């Protein structure tokens, strides 16, 4: 995923992006911005409702770093969403294989098929606006996330401003 190509011009190396990180969709190696909306909000709400239920011992690479693993796992997805979003607030819809039949190598770490990211999408911008705003609210109450929450908050606003004229008309 480090050299993900734009599906509309796959041979243009100037458009290749690092799209590492994030969560795969169920059953394939694709990653969808709009499908992340539910799980991201659900996990953020779960943390808000009962932070004591979540430890720092889930056997993640980040376990034992003093940050509850639910927040580490969320940050993994949020960092990928950041890569999918652009400074102007536009957000790419998805990234993954060009064809479903390319999702056969397992585990995913050995899949060397080319990866592609899709065009920008208003629904993706709205989804990211909500996820980044919610993440900024949650992480903003934790020490050490001041810069990150400011970046998420600013990008959430940019995404909303990008989408607004496209949905209001």
Nearest to 30 by CA among 116, 91, 126: 116
With pLDDT > 90 as the criterion, what percentage of the chain qualifies? 82
For residues 121 and 112, what is the distance between their CA atoms, to the nearest angstrom? Answer: 27
β-strand partners of 4: 17
pLDDT for position 101: 78
Structure tokens that stand for 165 in this block:
């004229």
pLDDT tens digit string along 36-49? Answer: 999 999 999 999 99
pLDDT for position 18: 96
- Band (pLDDT 50/70/90 cuts) for residue 71 is very high
pLDDT for position 89: 98
DSSP 104-143: -SSSGGG--S--EE--B-HHHHHHHHHHHHHHHHHHTTST
pLDDT tens digit string along 94-139? Answer: 999 888 777 778 887 788 888 999 999 999 999 999 999 999 999 9
pLDDT higher than threshold 90 for residue 11: yes
**Scanning the structure block, which residue is given the tokens 């890569």?**
83
pLDDT higher than threshold 80 for residue 144: yes
pLDDT for position 163: 97
For residues 157 and 162, what is the distance between their CA atoms, to the nearest angstrom? Answer: 8
For residues 125 and 79, what is the distance between their CA atoms, to the nearest angstrom? Answer: 15
Residues 63-89, mean pLDDT to the nearest whole number = 97
pTM of the model: 0.94
Structure tokens that stand for 167 in this block:
């949905």
Instruction: HSE, CB side, 13 Å, CA atoms: give it for residue 28.
Output: 15
> What is the rounded average pLDDT for all residues in the chain?
94
Return the minimum-mean-pLDDT range out of 26-30, 58-62, 79-83: 26-30
For residues 17 and 19, what is the distance between their CA atoms, to the nearest angstrom? Answer: 6
């Amino acid at each position: 995923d480090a050299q993900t190509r734009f599906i509309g011009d796959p041979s243009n190396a100037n458009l290749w992006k690092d799209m590492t990180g994030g969560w795969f969709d169920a059953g394939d190696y694709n990653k969808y911005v709009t499908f992340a909306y539910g799980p991201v909000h659900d996990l953020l709400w779960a943390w808000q409702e009962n932070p004591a239920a979540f430890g720092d011992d889930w056997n993640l690479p980040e376990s034992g770093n003093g940050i509850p693993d639910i927040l580490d796992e969320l940050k993994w997805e949020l960092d990928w969403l950041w890569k999918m979003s652009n400074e102007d607030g536009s957000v790419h819809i998805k990234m993954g294989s060009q064809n479903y039949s390319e999702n056969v190598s397992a585990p995913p770490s050995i899949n060397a098929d080319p990866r592609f990211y899709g065009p920008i999408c208003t629904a993706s911008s709205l989804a990211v606006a909500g996820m980044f705003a919610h993440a900024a609210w949650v992480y903003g109450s934790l020490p050490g996330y001041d810069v990150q929450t400011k970046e998420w908050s600013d990008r959430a606003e940019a995404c909303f401003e990008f989408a607004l004229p496209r949905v209001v008309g």
